[in-house]
Structure 1
Amino acid sequence: MSSVEIHNNVVYGPEEEPIPAHLSFGQFLFDKFKKGGNKTALICAETGASMTYKTILQNSVNLATSLQKLGLKKDDVVALSSENRFEFIVASLGVFFCGGVLTTLNVTYSPGEISHLLKITRPKFIFTSPITAQNVHDCSEEFNFIQKLIIFGEYDVVPAIFYNDLIKTHVDIDGFTLVDVFGAQDTAAIMCSSGTTGLPKGVMLTHVNFLTLAAHMKYYLETSRKQKKHDVEIGLSLIPWFHAYGFLTNFSVMALYMEVVFLVRFDEVQYLETIEKFKINMTTIVPPLAVFLAKSPLVLKYNLSSLNEVWCGAAPLSSDIQNAISQRTGIDFIKQGYGLTEVTMACCVDLTRRVGSCGTPAPGMRIKVIDIQSGEQLGVGKEGELWIKSPLRMKGYAQDEAASNALFDSEGYVQTGDIGYYDKDGYFYIVDRLKELIKYKGFQVAPAELEALLLEMTGIADCGVVGLPDEVAGELPLAFVVLQPGATLTSESITEYITSKVSPAKRLRGGVIFVDEIPKNPSGKILRRELIKLLPTNTISKL
């Protein structure tokens, strides 16, 4: 794109997109939903039920008023643990309207992970759906700062206030006033991101971060529409909304009055039927879903011709898979994006057609590539760590100032931990990760967390965890284990133990390999590259 420039080995995105002067993400969404009126906003693919912008806004205002009566004040944190459902959107808006801080919890988190996040986010209230209610209730018992549990649905799975009761009292929308915020500094949400130290970190994102991302999404879509001369009116949302990727893309497209059809879970037939039935124009995917589109014989039985915007993120997508999808389905081109929660997700999107590239920097963004050894700022075609400067930069990690400070350089660049390079036109290519995180189906898995759990097992002397490459999942967590003399542990007993301790993404699906020693450097750090050399080359996917 001609709007991208390179100066002194720094790649600059196009001019920054304007955002509303009031700098409130809640006010932005309130105004958009009010204008949306009786237009359909959300449709549940499973049930066919739908909600208009007007109904969502009314429920959100009713809820916000009830939350304030319960004692919710500006800057209070509210947690939300739920699968994709109508109440998720209303609860999020209600919290924003009160000037509260929203934090979302992955519904597959183990009790240990939930407790950790509750400890660092300190929510006053927790919204929960029935599928996570018991875990959330049990974990919340140990924290006296949690005052209320609010449950979706009609059954008292655990002692809690019913969400349905909180939205009953009708409040006049025209007479409702949102709590004022200082958007450049006030936190809108705390989204989860795994760090190399193990357990998830709480990434504090401001109202301005969210408003900027919404402006960028509008820019990407409008630019693409002009290039391709097509309309994008109906979107499919499958990525979980508790994930920053799903959360931000969903709210951003709703603000553009796109009708959003959502799925609660991935089912191959239902996914394809939904695209065909609703004539979906746009969807966001992750690499495992791209592999399904590229290889499953089922795909050829459905008409997917309505799709004209397919964006892939969360992990790099191979050019082979990219091309295969286009050839099999007729979908013109799968756009790759690159981002991280610490920079409010989208840093680059490929708006042209450069296979293998994740695109050019977002508006107002600067990216430089730094040599890992020398710290030198690198030029075209040279691989190094990507450093990013942008209005999308997070405020910091909740309860972890040291980790926040370590992430930023003196000029305000975020050190991403991702290895890549850019070409002469400013297009970026991600080739590796400096971070030791394993990417399983787009979820980040920290080896250090699994290693700590393994070392708790009687009979294990030492261990090292790496990612086993897998075409469908990206990587499968695999453990190299050194047994203590006389120990009789089996690979099955070890994998079963880990399965009992962690959420599904962190299971040792790659298996266990017994070794005599774990290679380490003089300071005791595991040399994972040496372990990777010991990985089997022919494996069966264990999804």
Structure 2
Amino acid sequence: MTFIATMEATKKTIPDNTDPDNDVWLSPLSLGFFINAKLMGLNIILSIPVVLADGTLDESNIGVIERHRITFLFITPPLAATMSVKWMLTAGAPIHENLRRTISDNFGGVHLTLEWATSETMLPAIQLDESTKKPGSSETLVNGIQAKVINTETGEECGIGEEGEILVRNKLARYSGYKDNEAANQDFDYEGWFHIKDYGQLDENCNFYIIDRIKELLKVGEGHESHVSASELESVIFEHPAVANVVVVGTRNYDTQMDEPSAFVILNPEYSNNSKIAKMRVEQFAAEKLTGLRRLTGGIHWLSSYPTTGFKVDRKKLKSMVPEKQKPMATGLFFSPILAN
């Protein structure tokens, strides 16, 4: 019954231009992901065929969209930065508003939905009421699911619009007490609240605003509000037209016990003829826009592609590409000839 209820709620997120007689949907993920259970359920309810791709979509198999005339596509943020689609769904990582707006514009105003999900709670962030949706939100709560935000230092509940760790609770949460699985149970507190380990806020209309994973927050100073979000820094750098994609990671400086933000940037192919000048201008742009605690003390590194694990960028691998003992220049930026193309 809970799955049927979830499917009925999910139906309300589908764009008005959905056409069951002519649409074909695509998912590049394995059957082990809940999103495919969702798509299979909608496939039955709406009689829309779903194509399951053999592996992650990339340049080698992207032709499946044209062959099957795909009209809906589930994508991850890294793929979104590079991709005849009417509706796209992305999850698995925050996607900054600059990137979402660019994708929508490039696809002629395509509907791009950002959803949040965990196996423990299924899909609590499905948009139900289009009238409450606001730019940058990760959709609104499903009926029957509760959420609150707590201060990451004190554990006290935050008010509307205040940032902290997002907790959710519902009757679909299925791992609490499951076969004495301590690893799965430790993220549930005694009241049944599930710690999703995401940092963000809720507004008065129950819109989620997920800023970043807590583990991706960078400690760049001492005291209160001394953390910055990697996705926030990415959003700023992405504003430069020569940037095709950007991922920011933090590497720990063991002398200061602070994180040094490092940006890994893929150059927009349109700027490849004058790549040296373009890279220099991106670095200058970042130095001007990111100051104070947001300064890229770990530098900017240039790559042609990102290492991945599953369908996500392998941030651990990126961190290993940054020298452990580096001495940033006064600007906080440096050019790495080893990583650059």
Instruction: Name the TM-score, length of structure 1 as normaliser.
Output: 0.40
Query: Which of 225, 233, 239 is residue 29 of structure 2 equivalent to?
Result: 239
Partner of residue 514, structure 1: 324
Partner of residue 369, structure 1: 149
Partner-residue secondary structure (3-state), 1:514: coil
Amino acid at match of 1:252: G
The answer to whether the Cα contact below 8 Å between 1:313 and 1:336 also exists between their aligned partners in 2 is yes
The superposition leaves residues 189-236 of structure 1 with CA deviations (integer Å, 9 ceiling, x where unpaired) of xxxxxxxxxxxxxxxxxxxxxx53x532442234534xx253244111
The answer to whether the Cα contact below 8 Å between 2:11 and 2:42 also exists between their aligned partners in 1 is no
Partner of residue 107, structure 2: 329
Partner of residue 497, structure 1: none
1:366-515 alignment to 2 at 5 Å? 366-396=146-176, 401-435=181-215, 472=245, 474=247, 505=314, 508-510=317-319, 511-515=321-325
Q: CA shift at 1:390, angstroms? A: 1.1
2:43 pairs with 1:254:
yes
Q: CA shift at 1:246, angstroms? A: 4.4
Distance 1:397 1:509 in 2: 36
2:75 pairs with 1:285:
yes
The answer to whether the Cα contact below 8 Å between 2:27 and 2:36 also exists between their aligned partners in 1 is no
Deviates more, 1:414-423 or 1:233-242: 233-242
| Alignment CA distance shift 1:236-1:399 (3 Å) | same
Q: CA shift at 1:278, angstroms? A: 2.3
Between Structure 1 and Structure 2, which shows a larger proportion of helix residues? Answer: 1
| Alignment CA distance shift 1:537-1:325 (3 Å) | farther
| Alignment CA distance shift 1:317-1:259 (3 Å) | same
Partner of residue 270, structure 1: 61
Partner-residue secondary structure (3-state), 2:116: strand
Percent identity among equivalent residues? 24
Partner-residue secondary structure (3-state), 1:509: helix
Amino acid at match of 2:323: I
Q: CA shift at 1:372, angstroms? A: 1.9
The superposition leaves residues 318-344 of structure 1 with CA deviations (integer Å, 9 ceiling, x where unpaired) of 111111111111143211111222223
Amino acid at match of 1:515: K
| Alignment CA distance shift 1:406-1:308 (3 Å) | same
Q: CA shift at 1:476, angstroms? A: 6.0
Unpaired stretches in structure 2, ≥5 consecutive residues: 219-229, 239-244, 256-308, 327-331
| Alignment CA distance shift 1:380-1:340 (3 Å) | same
The superposition leaves residues 435-470 of structure 1 with CA deviations (integer Å, 9 ceiling, x where unpaired) of 4699xxxxxxxxxxxxxxxxxxxxxxxxxxxx8987
Partner of residue 348, structure 1: 125
Distance 2:179 2:314 in 1: 25
| Alignment CA distance shift 1:404-1:428 (3 Å) | same
Distance 2:151 2:318 in 1: 34
Distance 1:237 1:359 in 2: 20
Distance 1:513 1:289 in 2: 28
The superposition leaves residues 478-533 of structure 1 with CA deviations (integer Å, 9 ceiling, x where unpaired) of 68789xxxxxxxxxxxxxxxxxxx999476234042339xxxxxxxxxxxxxxxxx
Larger RCO, structure (CA 8 Å, separation 6 or more): 1
Partner-residue secondary structure (3-state), 2:14: helix
The answer to whether the Cα contact below 8 Å between 2:24 and 2:50 also exists between their aligned partners in 1 is yes
Larger Rg: 1
| Alignment CA distance shift 1:333-1:539 (3 Å) | farther
Distance 1:412 1:219 in 2: 23
Q: CA shift at 1:248, angstroms? A: 2.9
Instruction: Name the TM-score, length of structure 2 as normaliser.
Output: 0.62
Unpaired stretches in structure 1, ≥5 consecutive residues: 1-18, 20-210, 294-303, 439-466, 483-501, 517-534
Partner-residue secondary structure (3-state), 1:255: helix
Partner-residue secondary structure (3-state), 1:338: coil
The answer to whether the Cα contact below 8 Å between 1:350 and 1:359 also exists between their aligned partners in 2 is yes
2:18 pairs with 1:230:
yes
The answer to whether the Cα contact below 8 Å between 1:336 and 1:350 also exists between their aligned partners in 2 is no
Distance 2:72 2:101 in 1: 18
Q: CA shift at 1:358, angstroms? A: 0.3
The answer to whether the Cα contact below 8 Å between 2:148 and 2:167 also exists between their aligned partners in 1 is yes
